[in-house]
Structure 1
Amino acid sequence: MAEPDRGRRAHRVRLGAAAVAVTLLAPLAACGAGDDGGIPTINLYYTTEQNIQKVVDDCNAEAGGRYRIVYRVLPRAADDQRVQLVRRLAAEDTGMDILGLDVTWTQEFASAGWLLEWTGERRAEAERGTLAGPLETARYEGRLYAAPKNTNVQLLWYRSDLVQQPPRTWDEMIRMAQELRGQGHPYRVVTMGAQYEGLVVLYNTLVASAGGRIIDDDGTRAVFDEGAVRALEVLHRFATAGITTSSFSNTIEDQARLDFQSGQGAFQLNWPFVYPAMQEAAPELAEKVRWARYPGIDPGTPSRVTIGGFNLGVSRYTQHPDESFDAAACIRNAEHQKFSAINDGVPPTIESVYAEPEMAEAYPMRDTILEELKDAATRPRSPAYQNISTVLSAMLSPPSSIDPRETAERMREATQDALDSKGVLP
């Protein structure tokens, strides 16, 4: 089952790389590389993925004794993963070779000098056939510091027994939900509104769909233009239209899934992990549920949906850089991305994989996912993203209290402080 973008981040102050380094460096001793009988051991630090050991075994067989990959499982929670990686990298731990990085961390780790750059033929191989959106998350200052392993986008899930055609815009979805409510049918639009990363993802998608920007292309200036203000208007209108669940401002991914499965919703905005979960837990409902592209802002203008996923980076402190790059390339190649998509539900970053016949059953919504990925939105690309996310989630919550222009101005000021490493985070 696909992980819901590792978005279940509790709201807490996220420490910057420098702060974590100062706080945690002292009590930690660097670990050795731990080679096995002269064969280099390549330690892969990666999130929980049920069948990735099979990929590791295949790559070890292909290596023919040049190296042996060992899968080291990171904690489930994204914040805990990041803290463990930052702590050990700050200590220049040589026992870390390949790093599984949430797409929002790559720039932060690259700016701290913790990642080796992918260059030459290695870079060409990582870029070949890779979708542009996921690839952009692996770059920093025009250089490639990771190879995209898997990606993710949210879809619109809707009850085909309640609506004949899915809504194409937020205004249309709100109107359809209100009409269903007036008719006494299930009507709610279920999605994530709690004060955490999931709310930032929702807002970022609305901003991109409105043609707006949160920060500039250089990642140094907070913008919050008219598109960003309009996104706040849509989010506030949605939150006050009487069509959300009563717990909207406290809802994260899995709660949204459960609310929709209970029959409360006519629409759900969520990641593809809801599809296999619904088939198992609510098969009768699953027969009525269809999917479509995430709704846009303006009629005739498609949405631009925020992507998630994981990249593979090579630690600056590895004692085996050549073997680590080769191992990372093997783990994320097209054949293994197909295996992981079919068996673990993580959408591929290599476009050709979507056309593979085996993908049809596991990913019946693959064409819609690919359509969104080809015109996807990334979260603000900045080494300070963790701080920006904390600021935005606090000011967006609860969405019903948003005052579009006033909130945009406050977010602009607070985001600029985060970019400039000023101020106290909420």
Structure 2
Amino acid sequence: MFSEQRTEMEESIRKIRNGRINRRTFLERVGAVGLSSAAALSLLEACGGSSNSTGGTGSSTSLVWLSEQDATGTYVALVNEFNQSIGKQKGIHVTSQQVVSTDDLLARYNNMLRARSASADVMSIDIVYPAQFAASQWTVPITEAQWPTSEREKYLPGPIQGCTYQGKLWAAPLRTDLGVMYYRKDLISQAPATWDDLVKSAKAASPSKIKYGYVWQGAQYEGLVCDFVEVLYGYNGSILDPNDSTKVTVNSPEANQALTEMVSWIGTISPPAVTTYKEEPARTVWQNGDAAFMRNWPYAYALGNDPKQSKVADKFDITSLPYGGSGTVGHSTIGGWNLATNAYSKNADACWEFIKFMLQPEAQKKLALNASLTGALQSIYSDSDVLAKQPLFSKLGPILKNALPRPVSPQYSDVSDVIQRNVYQALKKQVSVSAALSNLEKDLQAAIKK
């Protein structure tokens, strides 16, 4: 696409989204610079072709925020609030554009950014992708002048770490997620601090009192990466050097202890079928009252406490992930979404104004109150209004302070794939733990050199 075509296309996409031109005019304008209707509509669709926030205001600067889906309407409400306050004052209008599937959203980013397009200015990106986007020069770093360290320290350290690559912050954490340990308080007298504690309690409960001791996510998919690194971090191990993402550190005594621990659960405290479990199968077993412990995400808390669909309502609690070996604290894996500025946007300063608005206590509080989303600002976990409506937040706050990201790498997709494959082979006893870690080390070294 020639530069004049791209400029016309980006401007036309902005105008059709803001309701300033109709579909016919859009096709006429892009046709005038040599693009076919089919090509224009395909690119429009790839970049998101409709708006779900209130219409434009004639502002001098129009921005598009492309994000994951928010079914509660809270994202749109916050966009409209920004437009009516700071946006009106500074001549900025933001349009919200949401995508249902995370995979579809990533595909749109790839299409848009490889074409050097600015059809979206502010981008919501999953916690595993800031390094990849930074290495591709697709995003703009957040400077100390924009967001001083004194302000960053008010936010959860794990998400900040996940957004940092080569000493720079490439996205701002909007909301987070984390793995937690569920346990049956009617069967377990005390929450386990260590993996040894959990195994001992699980064996005491199962099979004499309950069918299974512990259910978790053992299938070969992204969830297994989360489960593995949580155990690994609890043993003081790591996948890559936190200070040098090109250095592989996984083939260590700590990793051997961690993976040996996980293999030992299968067929003892965990059913053999756990190697087919993702989040929902584990939750189903748990809610049917068939497990003493479960590793899952916070979404399962409210569902488990619904007596209409759960046999364990009011019978369980949550705690942090255990630790083992030389570890002294458990570490949850973080999920979540972060806001970044498209490097091809011509309105980087305006993008930061919107991102900064979404980081403020008022917006973070509304994410918690209206959408039950775990924000990145630490103070919301002790906010009286939030705790009155979302009492779970009081339990999540302390756990989040020790939560850590998955390996930070610009080749994360490849890194994840080789972790899944090699850990899964060990769980299925297709290879020994030592062989799995040796193979994983070699595969990671090859992956990060791509």
Place the TM-score, normalised by the shorter chain, in its bin: 0.7 to 0.9
248-257 or 98-107, which moves further after superposition? Answer: 248-257
**Distance change (3 Å), C-alpha of 1:180 and 1:364:** same
Query: Which has the higher mean CA deviation after the structures are superposed, 100-109 or 146-155?
Result: 146-155
Residue of structure 2 in register with 1:43 after alignment: 64
For 1:103, the aligned partner's letter is I
Distance 2:126 2:327 in 1: 32
Q: CA deviation at 1:371?
A: 1.8
Q: Which residue of 1 aligns with 2:95?
A: 70
Q: Does residue 296 of structure 2 align to residue 270 of structure 1?
A: yes
In 2, are the aligned partners of 1:44 and 1:97 still within 8 Å (CA)? yes
2:172 to 133, 137, 147: 147
Deviation digits for residues 242-272 of structure 1 (CA, Å, limit 9, x no counterpart): x224531121112222221111111111111
Conservation of the 8 A alpha-carbon contact between 1:113 and 1:316: yes
**Other-structure match for 2:132:** 108
Looking at structure 2, the residues matched to 300 and 48 of structure 1 have their Cα atoms a distance apart, in angstroms, of 37
Displacement after TM superposition at 1:282 (Å): 3.5
User: Could you say which structure has the greater relative contact order, defined with CA pairs below 8 angstroms and 6 or more residues apart?
Assistant: 1
Are 1:61 and 2:87 an aligned pair? no
Match of 2:33 in 1: none
Structure 2 gaps, min length 5? 1-5, 16-55
Paired with 1:121 and 1:355, the residues of 2 have a C-alpha distance of: 28
Question: Residue 389 and residue 300 in structure 1: after superposition, are their counterparts in 2 closer, same or farther (change >3 A)?
Answer: closer
Structure 1, residues 185-228: CA drift from partner, whole Å, max 9, x if none? 34331211111111001111111111112112211121212211
Q: How many residues of Structure 1 are paired with residues of Structure 2 in the alignment?
A: 392
Correspondence for 1:417: 446
Distance 1:361 1:265 in 2: 30
Give the structure 1 partner of residue 377 of structure 2.
350
Indicate if the aligned counterparts of 1:30 and 1:94 stay in contact, CA closer than 8 A. no
Equivalent in the alignment of 2:340: 313
Residues 180 and 319, structure 2, Cα contact 8 Å, conserved in 1: yes
Q: Secondary structure at the match of 1:31?
A: helix
| Rounded Cα–Cα distance in structure 2 between residues aligned with 1:373 and 1:167 | 17
In the superposition, relative to structure 1, how do residues 199 and 284 fare at CA in structure 2: closer, same or farther (>3 Å)?
closer
How far 1:38 sits from its partner (Å)? 4.4
> By how many angstroms is 1:234 displaced?
1.0
The 5 Å alignment of 1:364-403 reads 364-398=391-425, 399-401=427-429, 403=432
Q: Which amino acid aligns with 2:428?
A: S
Using the TM superposition, give the Cα deviation of residue 154 of structure 1 relative to its aligned residue in structure 2, in angstroms: 1.4
Q: Which residue of 2 aligns with 1:34?
A: 14
1:339-379: CA deviation from partner (whole Å, max 9, x where unpaired):
11222222121111211102213432334322222222221
Q: Show the counterpart of 1:91.
A: 115
1-structure distance, mates of 2:9, 2:231: 43
Distance in 2 (alpha carbons) for counterparts of 1:240 and 1:229: 19
Mapped to 2, the partners of 1:165 and 1:339 lie a distance apart of 34
In structure 2, how many angstroms separate the alpha carbons of the residues matched to 1:298 and 1:362?
38
TM-score normalised according to structure 2 size: 0.82
Q: Secondary structure of 2:384's partner?
A: coil
Q: Secondary structure at the match of 1:231?
A: helix
After superposition, the C-alpha distances for 1:71-126 in whole angstroms (9 at most, x for unaligned) are: 111232x3332122111111111211011011110010011001012124322286
Identity over aligned pairs, percent: 25
CA distance in 2, matches of 1:228, 1:369: 27
Would the alpha carbon gap of residues 411 and 284 (structure 1) be closer, same or farther in structure 2, given more than 3 Å must change?
A: closer
Alignment match, 1:205: 230
Opposite residue 261 of structure 1, the aligned amino acid is Q
In the TM superposition, residue 283 of structure 1 has moved relative to its aligned partner by 5.6
SS in 1 for 2:96: strand
* Alignment TM-score, normalising by the size of structure 1: 0.86
CA distance in 2 between partners of 1:138 and 1:267 (Å): 31
Per-residue deviation at 1:324? Answer: 1.0
Shift of 1:298: 4.1
Larger radius of gyration: 2
* Aligned partner letter, 2:261: V
Query: Quick check: 1:293–1:368 contact (8 Å CA) kept in 2?
Result: no
- Matched AA of 2:246: T
Q: 1:38 to 1:176 in 2, by over 3 A?
A: closer
Could you tell which deviates more after superposition, 389-398 or 354-363?
354-363
- Could you list the per-position Cα deviations for residues 155-190 of structure 1 after superposition, in whole angstroms to 9, with x for gaps in the alignment? 111111111212222222222222222424343312
Q: Given the alignment of the two structures, is residue 363 of structure 1 paired with residue 390 of structure 2, yes or no?
A: yes
How big is each residue's C-alpha offset from its partner over 1:378-408, in whole Å with a ceiling of 9 and x where there is no partner? 2111101111001111111152325221111
Name the aligned partner's letter for residue 86 of structure 2: A
TM-superposed CA distance for 1:296, in Å, is 1.5
SS at match of 1:266: strand
Aligned partners of 1:38, 1:218: CA distance in 2, in Å?
44
What is the root-mean-square deviation of aligned Cα atoms in Å? 2.1
Partner of 1:12: none
Aligned to 2:185: 160
Cα deviation for residue 284 of structure 1 reads 5.5
In 1, are the aligned partners of 2:287 and 2:311 still within 8 Å (CA)?
Answer: no
Q: CA deviation at 1:128?
A: 4.6
With over 3 angstroms needed to count, the CA separation of the structure-2 counterparts of 1:250 and 1:366, relative to structure 1, is same
Alignment of 1:320-331 (within 5 A): 320-331=347-358
Which sits farther off after the overlay, 293-302 or 186-195?
Answer: 293-302
